[in-house]
Structure 1
Amino acid sequence: MEAKEAVAKTCVKSRIINQSAITYDVFVMVVAAPEIAAIARPGQFVHIRLTDALEPLLRRPFSIADCDSSEGTLTLIYRVVGRGTALMSGLKSGHTLDCMGPLGNGFTLSGQRPLLVGGGMGLAPLLMLAKTFCSCSSTLLMGGRNAQELFWPNIYRDVCNNIYITSDDGSLGHRGFTVDLLPGLLQEKKFDVVYACGPHVMLKSVAEVAQKYHIPCQVSLEEYMACGVGACLSCTCAGTSGKRNKVCTDGPVFWTEEVVW
Structure 2
Amino acid sequence: MPKLVEKTVIIEQRVLAAEVRELVLDAPVIAAQVRPGQFVHVRVANGVEPLLRRPFSIAKADAGRGVLHIIYRIVGKGTAGLSLLESGDHLDCMGPLGNGFIFQGEHPLLVGGGMGLAPLAYLAQQLCPKPVEILMGGRSREEMFWISVFEKLCRNIHITTDDGSLGTQGVTLDQLPKLLDSQSFDMVYTCGPKVMMAGVVRLAGIHNIPSQISLEDFMACGVGACLSCTCAGSDGKRRKVCSEGPVFWGGEVSL
Instruction: Tell me the TM-score normalised to structure 2 length.
Output: 0.98
Secondary structure class of the residue paired with 1:257 = coil
Q: Which amino acid aligns with 2:149?
A: I
Aligned equivalent of 1:177 = 171
Matched, 1:107 2:126: no
Question: Aligned partners of 2:152 and 2:28: how far apart in 1?
Answer: 25
**C-alpha displacement at 1:127, in angstroms?**
0.5
Cα RMSD for the two superposed structures: 1.0
Question: Aligned partners of 1:146 and 1:254: how far apart in 2?
Answer: 29
Secondary structure class of the residue paired with 1:181 = helix
Question: Aligned partners of 1:212 and 1:236: how far apart in 2?
Answer: 28
Aligned equivalent of 1:29 = 23
Q: Which residues in structure 2 correspond to 1:151-190 (within 5 Å)?
A: 151-190=145-184
Matched, 1:226 2:220: yes
Secondary structure class of the residue paired with 1:148 = helix
**C-alpha displacement at 1:260, in angstroms?**
2.1
Question: Aligned partners of 1:219 and 1:130: how far apart in 2?
Answer: 14
Question: Aligned partners of 2:84 and 2:18: how far apart in 1?
Answer: 12
Aligned equivalent of 2:202 = 208
**C-alpha displacement at 1:53, in angstroms?**
2.5
Question: Aligned partners of 1:9 and 1:71: how far apart in 2?
Answer: 20
**C-alpha displacement at 1:129, in angstroms?**
0.4
**C-alpha displacement at 1:175, in angstroms?**
0.7
The answer to whether the 8 Å contact 2:108/2:132 transfers is yes
The CA deviation string for residues 166-198 of structure 1, in whole angstroms up to 9 with x for no partner, is 011111111111011111111124210000000
Matched, 1:81 2:75: yes
Question: Aligned partners of 2:91 and 2:45: how far apart in 1?
Answer: 5
Question: Aligned partners of 1:259 and 1:203: how far apart in 2?
Answer: 11
- Following TM superposition, the consecutive aligned residue runs of length 4 or more in structure 1 with deviations greater than 6 angstroms are none
Question: Aligned partners of 1:123 and 1:167: how far apart in 2?
Answer: 14
The answer to whether the 8 Å contact 1:219/1:256 transfers is yes
The CA deviation string for residues 62-101 of structure 1, in whole angstroms up to 9 with x for no partner, is 0000000001111000000001101101100110011000
Q: Percent identity?
A: 57
Question: Paired residues, what number?
Answer: 255
Aligned equivalent of 1:8 = 2
Question: Aligned partners of 1:51 and 1:171: how far apart in 2?
Answer: 38
**C-alpha displacement at 1:218, in angstroms?**
0.2
Which residue, out of 231, 236, 243, partners 2:237? 243
Question: Aligned partners of 2:19 and 2:36: how far apart in 1?
Answer: 24
Question: Aligned partners of 1:121 and 1:71: how far apart in 2?
Answer: 25
Aligned equivalent of 2:53 = 59
Instruction: Tell me the TM-score normalised to structure 1 length.
Output: 0.95
Aligned equivalent of 1:139 = 133
* Structure 2 alignment gaps of length 5 or more: none
Aligned equivalent of 2:89 = 95
* Structure 1 alignment gaps of length 5 or more: 1-6
The CA deviation string for residues 189-229 of structure 1, in whole angstroms up to 9 with x for no partner, is 42100000000110011011011111000000111111111
The answer to whether the 8 Å contact 1:51/1:96 transfers is no
Which residue, out of 42, 49, 60, partners 1:48? 42
